[in-house]
Amino acid sequence: MVQTLLFLFVLVITGWYAWKGYRRIWQNIFLGKAEKISGNAAARWQNVFLVAFGQQKMFKIGLPAVLHLFIYVAFVITQIELIEIFVDGLSGSHRFFAPYLGGFYAFVISFIEILSVLAFVATIIFLARRNLLRIPRFHKPEMKGWPFRDANLILLGEIVLITGIFCMNGGDKVLQTRGMEHYAETGVFAISSWLGPAMFGGLSDGTVLVIERFGWWLHITTVFGFLCYLPYSKHLHILLAFPNTWYARLTPKGKMENMPEVQKEVRIMMGLEQPDPNTPAELPEFGANDVFSLSWHNVLQAYTCTECGRCTAVCPANLTGKKLSPRKVMMDVRDRAEEIGKNLETGKFTKENYDDGKSLFDYITPEELHGCTTCNACVEACPVLINPLDIILKMRRHEILTQSAGPGDWLPMFNAIENNGAAWAMSDERDAWKNH
């Protein structure tokens, strides 16, 4: 009874804290402006099942993909045992599913244990890759400080989870062999049936019982802590990868979105269309300079970013020493959304009149934006279909069309197109040749 009440207390606290975190993410995503996304539902479901659930794009790099698969499959399948722990915590039972599943129960738990061992091996290798081998994409400037610690904390948390599973199962198997009350025989577990007696067989009943309960509570409280931690971590992608792949663009990667207002002005300039006398004289805002002028889908992508750095690792601008890092662009958009969200919570601002004197250009410099070659390498490399190029283009359009700024070697070309209808400065009209 005491354990059930304690479990309920921890569950309520976890639910309240987690709700605050996920509610904040939801609100921050919809700081972006509305964007209607529709299209082929079958193709979208295919993206969800193959890319988000099936990890299809991860397998472009073999070994990390296999190691990630171990952790991912272990995470998914372990939810079966987690559900049982949840039921046991609420009902005060022990191994609730065992009597109903019979011999299949031992198979399921054995499968979970084997996956847990594989996940443990993968976790150790990932920690070594980050901290000992120092894979370059994990040590770019944007990964210093919290982003680097965040990845290590999650990997260490994975080890804690696995420790909880084997303390719980190992202690359970020892107590079963001793005929302890509530610890009925559940069959042979692949790992714990020999690991438990080997590690805990020489201990007293009371000590083994403490170890088993410690493992049970360690596992469930780590899971609860993980749920509360996710809204502050890059590992939020384990949830957001699914909606992000659903809403991903279905058009060819090289196709850029045209701006009807600019297209119309160009047609008028070229004499292909007559100006509308009823058109307002004030020009609209082009592109995006802050989270509010990005779409909500752009912000969703920023929160979905796994910070794996595959985009930056293949970016030709970054590879040639330029400051541009597509990963940093996504991280900066997320950080800016977080900053705005926190300021809105103070009540000093509203979404409609927000002005803290800053914008995305305080996070992402023009030098970074100008380095992009629009080659789509980053879009192709992303394992969850994030599109950093879309944000880069929107910010470049704002800089050039709204701020009338841009690189010095670009502006003469833009002025020539505007004044002469050609990329080269010339004194004659573009079609003057036909009069000669």
- Whether 217 and 292 map to the same domain: the answer is no
Confidence (pLDDT) at 281:
61
- Whether 234 and 312 map to the same domain: the answer is no
HSE value, Cβ hemisphere, 13 Å, CA-based, for 311: 27
- Whether 233 and 300 map to the same domain: the answer is no
Ranges of H-type helices in 186-259: 192-200, 205-229, 237-246
- Whether 124 and 195 map to the same domain: the answer is yes
Kindly state whether residue 43 falls inside one of the protein's structural domains. no
- State which residues form the domain around 240: 2-30+61-246
Kindly state whether residue 328 falls inside one of the protein's structural domains. yes
- The C-alpha angle with vertex 392 and arms to 388 and 397, in degrees rounded to 5, equals 150
Read off the CATH number of the domain in which 347 is found.
Answer: 1.10.1060.10
Write the CB contacts of 285 (distance below 8 Å, at least 6 apart in sequence): 293, 398, 402
Kindly state whether residue 48 falls inside one of the protein's structural domains. no
- Whether 225 and 368 map to the same domain: the answer is no
Kindly state whether residue 35 falls inside one of the protein's structural domains. no
Confidence (pLDDT) at 151:
92
Work out the number of other CB atoms within 10 angstroms of the CB of residue 192: 23
| Structural domain count of the chain | 2
Kindly state whether residue 317 falls inside one of the protein's structural domains. yes
- Whether 242 and 265 map to the same domain: the answer is no
- Whether 215 and 335 map to the same domain: the answer is no
Confidence (pLDDT) at 267:
76
- Whether 204 and 66 map to the same domain: the answer is yes
Q: What is the mean pLDDT of each successive set of 10 residues along the chain, which is 436 residues long?
A: 88 95 96 89 94 89 88 90 90 89 91 95 95 91 92 94 94 90 88 93 92 94 94 93 94 78 72 72 79 96 95 95 96 96 90 90 94 94 95 92 79 74 66 60
Confidence (pLDDT) at 142:
94
Give the residue among 386, 405, 393 at the shortest CA–CA distance from 369: 393
Q: What is the torsion angle, in degrees rounded to the nearest 10, for the CA atoms of residue 177, residue 183, residue 187 and residue 193?
A: -50
Beta bridge partner(s), residue 7:
none
- CA distance linking residue 308 with residue 314, whole number of Å: 12
State the amino acid at position 234 in one-letter form.
K
Q: What is the torsion angle, in degrees rounded to the nearest 10, for the CA atoms of residue 26, residue 27, residue 33 and residue 38?
A: 20
| pTM of the entire predicted model | 0.89
Kindly state whether residue 47 falls inside one of the protein's structural domains. no
Kindly state whether residue 254 falls inside one of the protein's structural domains. no
- Whether 323 and 390 map to the same domain: the answer is yes
Are 413 and 423 spatial neighbours (Cβ–Cβ below 8 Å)? yes
Kindly state whether residue 56 falls inside one of the protein's structural domains. no
- CA distance linking residue 390 with residue 296, whole number of Å: 13
- Whether 105 and 216 map to the same domain: the answer is yes
Query: What letter would DSSP give residue 295?
Result: B
Confidence (pLDDT) at 283:
65
- Whether 91 and 236 map to the same domain: the answer is yes
- Whether 264 and 377 map to the same domain: the answer is yes
What are the tokens at 307? Answer: 């910070």
